[in-house]
Amino acid sequence: MASDVIIDTTGKAPVPRIPPAQRSQDAIGGPSPVTVRDDPGFLPPYDPLRDRKPEDFAIVYRDIPDISVQHNWDPPSIVFALRASFQGQFDLPGQLCDSILGDDRVQATLGSRIGGLFGREVHFRPANDSAAAKEVLDAYAEMWPRFYNDEHFVEIAAYRIMMRVAPAQIVWDTSRPVWEPRLRPFAPRFTYYNFYARKFVALTQDGAFAIEPGDGKWFFFGAYRSWLRGAQRAVAEPWLARHYARRDWAWYSEVHGMPKNLLFVPAASSQIDRDRFVAQVKNMGSRATLMMARGAGDKGQDYGYELSEAKDNSWEGFGGLMGECDTAIVLAINFQNLTTEVEGGGSYAAVKQHGDEMERSAYQSDDKAWSTALHFQIARPFAGINFGDPDLAPWVDWGVELEQQAARMSKSFQEWGTALEVLARAGIKFDDQAELRKFAAERFNLRGLPSFSIGDPPVGKGGGGGSFGQAA
């Protein structure tokens, strides 16, 4: 341990040692570093299940019924809602999200991303190789079909993507020998972030309660300022512009899709003759009729009729605007858009491959997020309540990482085999099987290769002559 003083060998008095952190604080004129031990917003990490009793899990928070949603959105109200979210207030942002979720493009895009994960097969893994962990895994897997509610999972996933704030209450079924959790989604609009306590707070019929993810009562996606990374910030404006474009297009079609009757009457005609003429033309259909008086001239004394209809292409602007908004929405939610124009001589196959990789990255991110949340917030309380040890909690995922790993390994194995074939045709020999295996593991990421032998290439498959090596 370093001494608190520096000994001066010249015989002078010892010089006090100043810690580096204190020297930095002195340089900026700040206070001395202190350890905060009693501020609720800055406590060290702890296990939320600590000191929890079985009766605590039987508590049910009565949520406030979510029966009204703001629908009359305009640019100022959207800005106001997003500004509220910056301050950790989610009432208006939650209502804005509910309105956006009603859009057909948003529903289709979210359905693609969410269904791309939950449509896969579920994989279960034990906490370790012990018999106790296997017992917990069997009970968890047997409970899963009753726990997994597609509607609830989809709703929570949608709020997670759009708002990055997605609460749900865990209600326990205590009627079975093994207590089983059930998820009950909680409307994000009835939550807010307490900056002093660094906690999300749920507003219920019984009061305000701090949300403690992992305590066996709350299942929650969200973190400090996570709401700033929600897709809603990027989607809100194109969603509103798309809504306006569709509305204006419908109005345009209504006006321009029904040609108008233009009636020409002599300026000197009597009112009775005019009314009789208008009545006769109106009986021809439901189109709007406009009467225009003619002055003196070649046809000034004649009655006339013309059909007036739009002949310009201004309507194309509506479709173009909606297309741009569609692209913005898809990019914000799915991270890719395969309808993007291929430029610079690129091929559609290359664009599709890039889009597939971006889409898989979204699936992989979702898979890891759900796997981690389910493990720490569902499986650990399940194992702790029923088996007395939260550390026996199993893991569940949808196999996205395994799928991508298999694809990468398959490609590496193919490239490795091709490289060996080319080298063999060139007369290159490998004498050490262990070194070749090590090279494949380090450079091609091909670990755990099965036993193989190194021999001569098949006759007629290439030149090179000579032996490729001896059988190992």
Q: What is the mean pLDDT of the chain?
A: 81
Q: Verify that 229 and 344 share a domain, yes or no.
A: yes
CB-neighbour burial class of residue 252 (10 A; exposed 0-12, middle 13-18, buried 19+): middle
Residues 161, 162, 165, 168: what is their CA dihedral angle, to the nearest 10 degrees? Answer: -70
Question: What was the pLDDT predicted at 355?
Answer: 47
**330 located within any domain:** yes
Across the range 104-109, mean pLDDT stands at 94
State which amino acid sits at residue 71: H
Q: Verify that 325 and 297 share a domain, yes or no.
A: no
Give this prediction's pTM. 0.74
Q: Is the pLDDT of residue 466 over 80?
A: no
Q: In the chain, how many domains are there? A: 4
CB-neighbour burial class of residue 246 (10 A; exposed 0-12, middle 13-18, buried 19+): middle
Question: What was the pLDDT predicted at 342?
Answer: 42
Q: Is the pLDDT of residue 163 over 90?
A: yes
Q: Is the pLDDT of residue 185 over 80?
A: yes
Residue 343 sits at φ, ψ, to 5 deg, of -120, 165
Which residues does residue 124 pair with via DSSP β-bridges, in sequence order? 396
Q: Is the pLDDT of residue 111 over 60?
A: yes
Range of the domain at 18: 5-34
**313 located within any domain:** no
Least confident of 174-178, 191-195, 361-365, 401-405: 401-405
Q: Verify that 198 and 329 share a domain, yes or no.
A: yes
Name the DSSP class of 63: B
**370 located within any domain:** no
**170 located within any domain:** yes
Q: Verify that 412 and 272 share a domain, yes or no.
A: no
Q: Verify that 303 and 413 share a domain, yes or no.
A: no
Q: Verify that 217 and 165 share a domain, yes or no.
A: yes
Least confident of 135-144, 178-187, 200-209, 330-339: 330-339
**373 located within any domain:** no
Q: Is the pLDDT of residue 224 over 50?
A: yes
Q: Is the pLDDT of residue 345 over 60?
A: no
Question: What was the pLDDT predicted at 424?
Answer: 75
CB atoms inside a 10 Å sphere around CB 52: 18
Instruction: Using pLDDT thresholds of 50, 70 and 90, give the confidence band for residue 299.
Output: low
Strand 260-266, strand 191-194: pairing: unpaired
Question: What was the pLDDT predicted at 348?
Answer: 41
Question: What was the pLDDT predicted at 420?
Answer: 72
